Amino acid sequence: MLSFAVAPSLLHHSRLFLRSPFTVRSSLSSLQEIQESKSTVERDLSSELHASAAPPLPGIRAAKRVVLVRHGQSTWNEEGRIQGSSNFSVLTKKGESQAETSRQMLIDDTFDICFSSPLTRSKRTAEIIWGPRKDDILTDYDLREIDLYSFQESLAFRYSWIKNASILASE
């Protein structure tokens, strides 16, 4: 769950490329290729932004506080399964209790908006924390956990060789 005091103006546009504060040194030919590629990307981005039906969010006028909260314990967390972006697990009673604890910790704070991934475990955590507020929780697909493809649903200990290669020898 994400909570913002005010929505940032560019958050709605999930494919927006932001300029890096770092300088990259390169050969002249590489630099020309990058500039040509960049202008194509900017044209594509510009047309994509103008084609968007949703209005842009208001700009930020002052420093804002962002609070990030991970979802509470899910059934797959409890079983030691890898979840990734799969949506087959829900919050356990412990997970709901964790979300309630987060709500209590944030109860005196003021938030104007709440974002959540579309995954059930995240939405439920956001619902508990957001509580009786009248404003809707905004669901954003880009807030999902990453896709872990064939690892999803597997028991995490099966891949503990990443930390301890000696397990491979025993299989």
Query: Binding site for substrate, residues?
Result: 70-77, 121
How many residues make up the chain in this entry? Answer: 171
* Cα-based angle 95, 101, 107 (whole degrees, multiple of 5): 135
Cα separation, 58 vs 78, whole angstroms: 40
Among 96, 100, 127, 145, the one annotated catalytic: 145
The reply to whether 71 belongs to the active site is yes
**Annotated binding residues:** 70-77, 121
Q: Do 57 and 64 touch, CB atoms closer than 8 A?
A: no
Q: Do 70 and 116 touch, CB atoms closer than 8 A?
A: no
Token code pair at residue 43: 């044209």
Among 71, 96, 100, 171, the one annotated catalytic: 71
The reply to whether 13 belongs to the active site is no
User: 39-43: long-range contacts at Cβ-Cβ below 8 A with a sequence spacing of 24 or more?
Assistant: 41/17
List of E strands, 5-82: 66-68
Backbone angles phi, psi at 3, to 5 degrees: -125, 135
Residues annotated as part of the active site: 71, 145
